[in-house]
Amino acid sequence: MPHPVLIPELSDLTGIAHGFFGRRGGVSEGIYASLNCGVGSKDSPKAVQENRARVARHLGARRIVSAYQVHGTTAVIVDDEPLAERPKADALVTATRGLAIGVLTADCAPILLADTRAGVVGAAHAGWRGALAGIAEAAIDAMEGLGAARRHIHAAVGPCIGPGAYEVGPEFEAGLLKHDPANARFFARKSGGAEARPTFNLPAYVAHRLRAAGVAMVAAAEACNYTEQVDFFSYRRSQKRGETDYGRQISAIVLS
């Protein structure tokens, strides 16, 4: 059985179910063990299908929809109309009850959003590129297109690569500081002073963008998917180990 991370601020809302699902509770084997939900992985398609079905059942959803993620800022509205293929997008929103929407991650930050007054939910995939370009804001705008109000939206940032594990290059830091010098607060150096490589606090940056967008509430999980290898998949960890592929965890929300 899946055992997702739950955010109390979302769990307390009526009319929705959500979960930031990790790697436990599925049927996949080897490097994909066990709840790999990545359609784009090299895992057995039957295993991935069963894992996704388990997530849908856990949420009480008829089915679950996810996108072909491209690290962009496109948000797509989905409903019960069958899709010929996964939309190329990094956020999905819906007002259709019983339809779970989800995003796949393996280091990037998943965002789940809900306006229970309007009956609208959203899910967004935020790597640093998408977060900087405005994927959170795009998801909120799409939700408002379905009748949501940002002052009523509750948002949660799920497990992703933590600040202690996310070492980046100086050009990365320079790019974000050029965009906004105040972004300096999201960088740190473990040791070695100014010559050391910086680390980046992705979940804090994503939460900052959500708050700046004017939503009612922002909460964030404290788990780091890179260091907590038993519970989460990590692309960066798989690269360090020289593995040929990696699993993806799913974060999903549904209007119940």
Q: In this predicted model, what pLDDT tens digit does every residue of 148-189 receive, in sequence order?
A: 999 999 999 999 999 999 999 999 999 999 999 999 999 999
How far apart, in whole angstroms, are the C-alpha atoms of residue 150 and residue 144? Answer: 7
Residue 193 has what pLDDT?
Answer: 63
User: Sign of torsion, CA 229 170 163 153?
Assistant: negative
How far apart, in whole angstroms, are the C-alpha atoms of residue 178 and residue 161? Answer: 23
* DSSP 8-state code for residue 160: B
Q: What 3-state class would DSSP assign to 173?
A: helix
Residue 196 has what pLDDT?
Answer: 84
Instruction: Average the pLDDT over 64-88 and give the result.
Output: 95
Give the domains, in start order, of the chain with CATH numbers.
Answer: 8-166+201-255 (3.60.140.10)
Residues 6+ apart with CB under 8 A from 185: none
How far apart, in whole angstroms, are the C-alpha atoms of residue 133 and residue 123? Answer: 16
Cis upstream peptide for 238 (omega within 30°): no
* DSSP 8-state code for residue 131: H
Q: What pLDDT band is residue 190 in, cutting at 50, 70 and 90?
A: confident
Instruction: Average the pLDDT over 198-226 and give the result.
Output: 98
Residue 192 has what pLDDT?
Answer: 63
Q: Is the pLDDT of residue 143 over 70?
A: yes
pTM: 0.98
